Amino acid sequence: MEDTKRKTNEKKNRPGQGSKNYGLGAVEVRSSGSVRARVRVAGKYQDVANCRREEDAQSVLRGLAKLREEEGDPDDPTLRSYGAKWLDRREKRGTKNIKTDRSRFKVHLLSASFADQPLRTVRTRDVRAWVDELISKRTADRRRPRRLSAQTVKHCVNMLGKIFRSAVADEYVKESPVKELELPTIDPRQGWSYLDRPELRRLVEYAHATEDPAALMACFAAGSGVRQSEQWDLELRLVFLDDSEPRCIVNNVKSNRTRIVPLFGLSLWAMRVWLRVLPRYAPDNPRGLVFPTPRGNRQRDKKPPRGWKALKHRLGLERPERRHDRRACRWHDLRHTCASALVSGWWGRRWTLPEVRELLGHLSIDVTEKYAHLAASALAEAAAGTVLGLHLPSHLPTQEEEGPKSSMISLRATEDSNLWPSAPEADALSS
């Protein structure tokens, strides 16, 4: 009886089938055509206004959210108010991807139904419902409509977890509701591609024939495996080509540490040619950058250099349906190309995954594991192309065809654990 009563009360205190989450409450459209605005108070939905249009109900909820934000209790913050302060704190600490964090917080976290309710009232079931909405959410890209990637969902959940852990440390909540969530599985090869051997050969041949700036930059990226930001930040004073071990020193933006990148093969050739082209490509280079813009400025983050789109069109990399893996080619895929070539042994000896990890500057070997399938395919290809150099018979005789064994050594090896030949056997072998 009590369970039935509790279920009935829960049904009364939740939005109907035609409701839409909006801000700190919900807008419910009734079958009669009327619209009502509802807010959640102490875990229960209550009506605050009956309206004729859905836009009017949304306006009511917007006003309530603004009042709560301006006049709310500072000791009982909401996700909207506390999240903004948390982002400001991260920016003061020097977080490099703060712009991405703010965009992710605004677009995905503030769309949650609990964004304007106190943090202490958020439950794990609310977070689970929000994660389900993210998984089924469509992106705003009109060119290629698709669902949010599993990696984006993971980033959003991780951000929400960090916000609640910070709230626990600040004693606003007792425990974090972000726990034991079922997230979509992430394919380690999801979203990334690499240039196969014919594509890489076309790139190198074009760069050698024309000394095109974009092609030389791409050759260096594919030969060294540096990140885009590391390549744009590289300075001339940190490039050493005349030493016995050519190398450059780059700044790892993820760990905020410098690392030494050896230059060999394709990367060494591309760097030598580029340093000869650089004075006429960027005559004014006040910052001493290795890969500046033609005006001597730093290249923009997450933006390929000028001429990259035309280069892809010339090399046949622009249309995914014509590529080996049916995926679009991005600048970051040049980094994957370097790792793929080393693991597969395109440039000589096959590198191990720990060696590739050191070269690329991965913080964990788990990140490098995405190239393991290339190592397996390289081993299969090497095994298929291996010739023993012996003329083996096409038909191996059976035991009946071979007859009884007559070798004393063979009999002794099967019947006695002592494999050393006896004196008579030794004399026979020596003769």
Q: How far apart are CA 114 and CA 146, in angstroms?
A: 25
> Please, are residues 142 and 99 in contact by the beta-carbon 8 Å criterion?
no
Q: How far apart are CA 197 and CA 67, in angstroms?
A: 61
Phi, psi angles (nearest 5°) of residue 175: -150, 160
User: Does pTM top 0.75 for this prediction?
Assistant: no
> Please, are residues 353 and 322 in contact by the beta-carbon 8 Å criterion?
no
Q: What is the pLDDT along the chain (431 residues), one digit of tens a residue?
A: 444 444 444 444 444 444 554 445 677 877 777 888 877 665 567 777 788 788 888 888 777 776 665 555 566 889 999 999 999 999 888 777 788 899 999 999 998 989 988 899 999 999 999 988 888 887 766 656 677 888 888 899 999 999 999 999 998 999 999 987 777 665 545 567 889 999 999 999 999 999 999 999 999 999 999 999 999 999 999 999 988 899 999 987 666 788 999 999 999 999 999 999 999 999 999 999 999 999 999 999 888 999 999 999 999 898 888 888 888 899 999 999 999 999 888 888 889 889 999 998 888 887 888 787 776 665 555 555 555 444 445 454 554 554 554 443 343 444 444 445 555 655 655 55
Q: Give the C-alpha distances (Å, rounded to integers) separating 320 from 14, 126, 193, 291, 313.
A: 47, 40, 10, 28, 11
Q: How far apart are CA 121 and CA 164, in angstroms?
A: 12
Phi, psi angles (nearest 5°) of residue 235: -110, 155
Phi, psi angles (nearest 5°) of residue 35: -125, 140
- Number of Cβ within 10 Å of residue 79's Cβ equals 24
pLDDT at 240: 95
Give which of 63, 54, 105, 59 is closest to 83, Cα–Cα. Answer: 105
> Within a 13 Å sphere around the CA of 318, how many CA atoms are in the beta-carbon half?
10
Phi, psi angles (nearest 5°) of residue 288: 70, 35
Question: In the CATH scheme, what is the homologous superfamily, with its name and number, of domain 197-382?
Answer: Intergrase catalytic core (1.10.443.10)
Q: How far apart are CA 48 and CA 50, in angstroms?
A: 7
- On the 0-12 / 13-18 / 19+ scale of CB atoms within 10 A, 253 is middle
Which architecture characterizes domain 74-186 according to CATH? Answer: Orthogonal Bundle (1.10)
- CATH 1.10.150.130 positions along the chain are 74-186
pLDDT at 333: 92
3-class secondary structure per residue, the chain: CHHHHHHHHHHHCCCCCCEEEECCEEEEECCCCCEEEEEEECCEEEEEEEECCHHHHHHHHHHHHHHHHHHCCCCCCEHHHHHHHHHHHHHHCCCCCHHHHHHHHHHHHCCCCCCCCEHHHCCHHHHHHHHHHHHCCECCCCCCCCECCHHHHHHHHHHHHHHHHHHHHCCCCCCCCCCCCCCCCCCCCCCCCCCCHHHHHHHHHHHHHHCCHHHHHHHHHHHHCCCHHHHHHCEHHHEECCCCCCEEEEEECCCCEEEEEECCHHHHHHHHHHHHHHHHHCCCCCCCECCCCCCCCCCCCCCCCCCHHHHHHHHCCCCHHHCCCCCCCCCCHHHHHHHHHHHHCCCCCCCCHHHHHHHHCCCCHHHHHHHHHHHHHHHHHHHHCCCCCCCCCCCCCCHHHHCCCCCHHHHHHHHCCCCCCCHHHHHHHHC
Q: How far apart are CA 99 and CA 120, in angstroms?
A: 27
- CATH 1.10.443.10 positions along the chain are 197-382
